[in-house]
Each structure stands twice: as C-alpha cells, then as structure tokens.
Chains A and B, each alone.
Chain A
Amino acid sequence: MKLLITLQPNLKIILTVLIAFFVALLIFFLVFLLNQYTIEKRIDSSLDIYTETRRLQKNFYLQNFDPNEKRIFILGSSQIQAINSTYINEYLSINNQNYKAYNLAYPAETPEERLKTLDVIISAKPKIVLYGISNRDFYTDVQNEISINKPASLLPDPRELFQEKFGGLDIFANHNFDFLENPKLTTLTMITLLLRTEPQDKPVQPYPESPVLMQSRDAIIKSDSEMKQLASIVGYRFTGIDPPEKNEKLITLKKIIGELQKNNIKVIIFTTPQSKYYLDSIPDYEKKSFDSILTSISSDFGINIFSLRDNYTNLTIWNDLTHIAVNKNAIIYSEDVAKILLKEIQS
C-alpha cells in the first residue's frame, strides 16, 4: 500500500507524458493526413499538366506555320523542360542564324508516345530536331523511382506495424504514410501551399513561343544539403536496359530518327544532364548498357551525340535528382544547348 502511495505521483507523471505523447502524435497524424488530401487534390490538379501540355502541343502542330521560318524542335521528356527556347532564339539571332527554336518537351515522354505525333511533327517541317535522351528513356519499367535508405526514425512506421500484426486487414491500405520518412519536407510543403496566395498551383508557360508548361515548384533550386537529403530518401530501381537489338524503346526511337532523316530533317541527339547524386546511384553495368545504346544510334545514323550528362554535377541548379530547375539561374543548360545548335548549324 505504502509502495503504491509512493508510486502514485510517478505514475501520474508517466501517464501525463504518455498522454502528451499520444496527443502530439494524434495531432501530427491528423494534420498530415488532412493535408495529404489537400496535397493529393493539388497533385490531381497538377496531373492536368499532362493533358494540358498535349492539348497545347496539338494546337501548336495544327497552326499555320510561317513557310519562311526555319524551325528547330527540341524534343524529350521533363528533363528538357528547363531549356529556355527564348534564350536560344536570342543566342542564335546574335550569331546571325535565322532559326526559331521551340521547346516541345512533355513530362514522362517516351519514344512510343512521340511516335504517335511523328506525322504532325514532320508536317510542321522543322529544319532541325534536337532530341534529349537519358538512360531512363530505355527501361522496360518506366516507374523506376523508389524509396530507399529508410532512416531509423523516432516514430514507428505504422505501415510496417500493421503489415506485421494485421497483414490481412486492408483498412489502412488506402492511406499513404510516406510523410513519416521526412516529416520536415511534408511540413514545409504544407506551409508553402498554405502561404501561397493563388488558389492553386496553376501551370504556366515559361517560354512564350513554346507549348511547354511548368509548375511553380519546378523553378525551385535545391541547395546541396537538400539534394543530399533527397538522395537519402529517393532511390532508383535499375531494372536493366535491354541490349540495342532487343530494346523496344530504342527501336522506336530509331524509327523516329529514320523517318525524320528521310524527310530531310536534321537530327541532333544529346544526353540530358543528371545530378551527381543520381549519377552515383547508377550501377556501372547500366552506364555501359546506355553507352551501347548511344553507340548504336551514332553508328546507324552517322550522327554526333553530345553529352551533357556530367556537365553540371557540381552546380547548384537542380530542382531534384534528375531535373534542372526551370530558373534563370540555371541558364547555363540553355547556353550549352544553344552552342550545340550553333555548332551543328554552322557545320
């Protein structure tokens, strides 16, 4: 009895701490789960960027082009998005080249997708097509981004907990607890969204002449420590690149290049830049496979392939591990692309 009396104040304190912990945890989960729905909503709206880009590009190809205009089409996926076509046009003009470049990148573009619009591309009669490619374009599995290095966390991962204990129950299956991997990142995203004055993260067209859309978050340049942090959370699954003769994506790309060349359109290929963190994660066999793809393209069509892959690894111009920010401070990328174009025009 006496022991119970002496223990009582301690029990009260322990109970209070437990209550405080659970209240804090509850608030934490509630805020993040509520926010998740808001973010998901915003992501849903941002998904419009795909359809909206396609709509814009469709209208672009259907327009009546000036027959005297010498057009350059820059094709590729979201890694091309940061190429500032306005800057390139100014650069070419300064160098007395009467060309007009259009950035026609769209997110998650693949050679198969591009093939569907090849007819309209050819009918638009560009003089040059500049195509940016990377190893990512030749995977069999496109969704290769995964979470890695799950850090030891003060907070238990409810997913694991429930998977272990109640593997058969699906009540939590529809919830995403990824925010536990880096609560700070989620908090900051949440604050940014809350402080935003516009009602939505509406996509904007960064270069007036090009049917390319970006969201405001694409312009953010991440610091090196943020990139490092991102690299510790995001990882890539390298499922391997099929050899050139079996690689369906390469076969499609070659078909595109062949058709373009047949229609007297000059094709220039370049490899898109990657961050040092992404490059470090690529296994050697993957690099070799991609090199064999490049050799195959170069030898089949007799074209130069320019490499920008390692050019900006140490610069603070990255939006994430594989994308340069759509930002004026990242103009070096557009500058180098402009130089490639000028060199090829003059050759």
Chain B
Amino acid sequence: MLFNTIDFVIFFITVLSVFVIIKNRKFQHLFLVASSYFFFYYSSNYLITLLIYTTIWDFYFGKLIYESTGTRRKKVLFIASLAGNLGLLGFFKYVDFAITQFSILGNYFDLGTQIPLLNLALPIGISFYTFHSITYTVSIYRGQLTPAKSFVDYAIFVSFFPQLVAGPILRAKDFLPQLREKIENFETGTRLRQILISSSNLKMGITLMAFGFLKKMFFADNISPMVNDIFNYPVGQESFTIILGAIAFGIQIYCDFSGYSDIAIGAAMMMGFKIPVNFNKPYFATSPSDFWRRWHISLSSWLRDYLYIPLGGNRKSNVRTYLNLFIVMFLGGLWHGASWNFVIWGMLHGLYLALHKFIVNKFPILQNHTFFKTKTGFLLSIFVTQYLVFLAWIAFRVKDFDQVLYSMQKYVILDFQIQQTIPFILAHKVSIAVIVLFIVLHFISYKKVNLPEKISNLSLLHWTICLVGIMLLIFFFYNGKPEDFIYFQF
C-alpha cells in the first residue's frame, strides 16, 4: 500500500479510529498486528508468508539463544538464526544477480554455463524487515535484550506498518520496550500502557506526515520528470546537464526517502510510538563521515553497530580501518539492490570514508585548523563533500555501466557546452522552480533547526494556514498518478 494513495488515508484513519474505540491493550496489539499484516498483504499478497516466516524464525531463535547456557551453543544458534534471515534475503534478492554473474564469467572462459534465471518476485521491504529482525537476535546474543514477552509483541516489532516497507530500520531494544511501557502519572500507576492518542503527538504526527507528503508529492514527484529525461539515456548530454541531473536526483531521492520516513515517523507518533529520525539535513554535511551521520541514519548506524564494529572498526591497524570502511559501504551498496550500479555507489562512499579517515589520520592538524572554523572553510567543506556525494548519486541512478561511466566523466571533466543545457532548462521550468524552492526551504530548515516541530507548536490558526498551504501545493501540482517511493524497490 502506497502512503500517497487514498487507500492508505482510509486505512490509517480506520486504524486510528479503532484505537480510540478499543481500550484493551491486548486487543489493541492484536489489531495492530492484523492491520500491519493487512497493509503488507494489500500490496504483496502471498509474499506475506516470508514476513511471517522471518517473525516466527527469529522469535523462537531469540528464545533459544537467550535460554542456552553454553557460549558455543549460543553462537551456533545465533549463526543459524542469521543464516535463516540472510539466506532468505540472499535467495530472493540476489540469486538472479549471482546467476547472471556466473553466466558472464562462464562465457568469458568459454565454459558454456548458461543457467536459466529464476525470475523471482522481489518481496517488498525484505531488506528492511530482515535487518529489523536481525537486531533482535543480535541484541539477545549480546545480552542487551531479553526476549519479547509475547509473540504478538514481536510480530508488531517486525511488521509495524508505518516503517515496514522502507524503514527507518528499527532496533528491537528501542522498540520492544515501548510496547510494555508502564503508565506513569496517570490514575493506575502500574498498568501497562495502552495505545493512547495524545494531542501533542497527534499534532506533531500530522505535521510530520504533511511534511512527508509535501516532500514526496510536491518536490520529489515534480523533479522526477527532469531526472528521467536526463538519466534514462544520458549519453550525449552536456556536462552542465549531467551536473543538473545529479543535483536534481540528489534532491529527488532525499525528498522521496525522507518524505517516506517523515510519514512513517508521523504515523507511528500518532499511535504513541517513537521511531528514530532517519535524516538530519544531509546536504549540509561537511565530510563523508558527517554525511553518513545525517543520511539514512538508521541504516548507517545499523551498518556501524552490526558490521563495522564486529569487523574490528578502528580498533586494529589504520589499513584495516580503511578496509573495514570500504567493506561496510560495499555491502551497504549491495544491500540497496542486486545491481552493479549500487555496488559502485557503495564502493565510492567506502572510498570517500576511507580517504577522509586517511587524511584525518595523516594530517590531524587539518581537523582543528582555524580555516575550517571560518565561514569560507565551512562552505568549502560542504561544497567538496556534496560534490562527491552528488557524483556518487549518478551511479545510484543510472543503471547501465557504460552510461554511468559517461555521466561521471562528464560530471568530473567539464565540457563547458551549453547549447543543449539551456533549451533543456527552458523545457523543464517547473522542475527547476521546484529545485530552487527546495534549496530555499532546506536552507531555512537548516537555520530554524526543526521546522516541523516549530510549525507544530504554532497556534491552531497558524497551524491550519500552514496545512492549507501544504495541501494546496500538493493538490495543484499532483500529476494524477501516485508514484512509487524509490526505496520500495529495496
């Protein structure tokens, strides 16, 4: 079910209304699982069996890991649970990719290895709910979490509909306790908390959802026609067109994905759940590592805690640290999709992080140099970082390898041609205007810290005016066809 459809609006209003009517906590939880499964079933049909499989698998493995006493047994059980999760993800997401690579390699050595593709349907959200579930068994294995008290609680954690298909990636140790929060400062001090819709959460949740819809339906969907025109076949485009395309895609994917996250966080907040923030003005990052502290935070912190640190993090030699960074980002790229362009994107970011780390290690004086404390130094840091980030976006967007190379070459080595760029800009005035508006609003948002919170704290009248403004922008610039969220494919 797409967030930006009437179907979701009706579904969500129904869910909220039922929570107001049902007061019993257990029934509320049962209803939440049922509605989450309905949400998933609505667009994925029989693939819901995979979600149920993951839930059952990790729920019982969690219990077994927790109850086992020997370290060796614990480890074996943990590896088995990981194998179950990653095996499922690998099979459904990467098997055709692996077959293709095998066939190419076979052809190269003239071995005649032509294996037919399985053409499996990619289950929506599998990368996300697999990662959710892994956090549960890992936390139990590390002794940071006790198993969920009931299967329903665990099923809610894995299938919680606001973030089910495109994150943010939840962590069991952050989410599960929310389901068993005690009531405080209310009449019955020791009872477990029901799902209560508080006015402050409702207002903030609605504001966040409105922002999410605005980002997706006004900004992302109105920029996408221009991006498609540039990158569906970029060969022959001038440097400035490619640069424009990279900037436009960077903004599109930010609005698309952070819009989704805002809607998810807002929807969860209205039901009284806290979902971690996923974006923090990434285009104001001053270094590659700063970028990853601001972009898709739930994934980058997942990769850090569950991959980078277990690999040794920065506790071993410098060379090992660079290698770890590269490996983590390589796998992070592959997590996005079974395609070489995502791998290139991941490797580029791995390279940026490793290089940045190398420079910081080699020239520690640079980090605290007064130049970088000045406005010029600060702006230069942002410019250099974003130049590299947008270069990498080209690999993320363009599927064909030759086209990626062409586009990157044009991005790096400028041809200073504008014969095609100017008519192109004139033919895409709407997208350009939307990009300019985004840049202005993004800057205001940077200066004003948390814009949704500020708007949510306005008086009802001013808040209403803001909502009307947002709705009008969406209504007037809606192209009549709900577009998929980019991250749905992962």
Contacts and interface: CB of A to CB of B under 8 A. Distances in A.
Contacts of B482: 151-154
Given A13-B460, A24-B468, A183-B478, 6 more contacts: A151-B481, A155-B6, A184-B480, A187-B476, A225-B224, A229-B481
Contacts, number: 104
B151 interface: no
A20 interface: yes
Contacts of B4: 154
B87 interface: no
B199 A9 contact: yes
B15 interface: no
B391 to A, nearest CB: 24
28 contacts: A13-B203, A13-B206, A16-B460, A16-B464, A19-B464, A21-B467, A21-B471, A24-B471, A24-B472, A27-B468, A27-B472, A28-B472, A28-B475, A151-B482, A153-B478, A154-B6, A182-B479, A182-B480, A183-B476, A183-B479, A184-B479, A187-B477, A188-B430, A223-B229, A223-B428, A224-B229, A225-B225, A233-B480
B271 interface: no
A183 B206 contact: no
Contacts of A7: 20
Interface string B213-226: 00000000010110
A243 to B, nearest CB: 39
Interface in B5-64: 5-7, 9, 20
Instruction: Tell me the interface secondary structure of chain B in the complex.
Output: helix
Given A9-B199, A20-B468, A151 B480 contact: yes
Contacts of B480: 151, 153, 180-185, 233
Given A184-B480, A187-B477, A152 B229 contact: no
A10 interface: yes
Contacts of B428: 223
A110 to B, nearest CB: 32
Q: Which 10 A-B residue pairings sit nearest by Cβ, starting from the closest?
A: A9-B199, A24-B471, A20-B467, A225-B225, A182-B480, A151-B481, A184-B479, A28-B475, A187-B476, A20-B464
Interface residues of A, number: 39
A232 B472 CA distance: 24
Interface in A1-41: 7, 9-10, 12-14, 16-17, 19-21, 23-25, 27-28, 31
Interface string B454-490: 0000001001100110011011111111100000000
Nearest to A183: B478
B197 interface: yes
Contacts of B203: 13
B142 to A, nearest CB: 40
B333 to A, nearest CB: 27
A224 B232 contact: yes
B120 to A, nearest CB: 27
Contacts of B318: none
A51 B54 CA distance: 70
Interface of A: 7, 9-10, 12-14, 16-17, 19-21, 23-25, 27-28, 31, 151-156, 180-185, 187-188, 221, 223-226, 229, 232-233
Interface in B276-329: none
B95 interface: no
B202 interface: yes
A13 B20 CA distance: 15
Contact of A154 (B9, B467, B472): B9
A156 B6 contact: yes
Nearest to B222: A184
Contacts of B468: 20, 23-24, 27
Interface of B: 4-7, 9, 20, 197-199, 202-203, 206, 222, 224-225, 228-229, 232, 427-428, 430, 460, 463-464, 467-468, 471-472, 474-482
A156 B5 CA distance: 11
Contacts of B9: 154
Nearest to B467: A20
Given A16-B460, A16-B463, A188-B430, A225 B228 contact: yes
B5 A13 contact: no
B225 A10 contact: no
B477 A184 contact: yes
A93 B479 CA distance: 47
B478 A154 contact: yes
Contacts of B430: 188
Contacts of A184: 222, 476-480
A182 B225 CA distance: 15
Nearest to A329: B423
A9 to B, nearest CB: 4
A9 B204 CA distance: 13
Given A151-B482, A154-B5, A183-B476, A10 B229 contact: no
A154 B6 CA distance: 5
A17 B20 CA distance: 17
A221 B428 CA distance: 11
Contacts of B472: 24, 27-28
Contacts of B427: 221, 223
Contacts of B471: 20-21, 24-25
B206 A17 contact: yes
A153 B228 CA distance: 22
A24 B199 contact: no
Nearest to B224: A225
A10 B222 CA distance: 34
Contact of A229 (B5, B197, B463, B479): B479
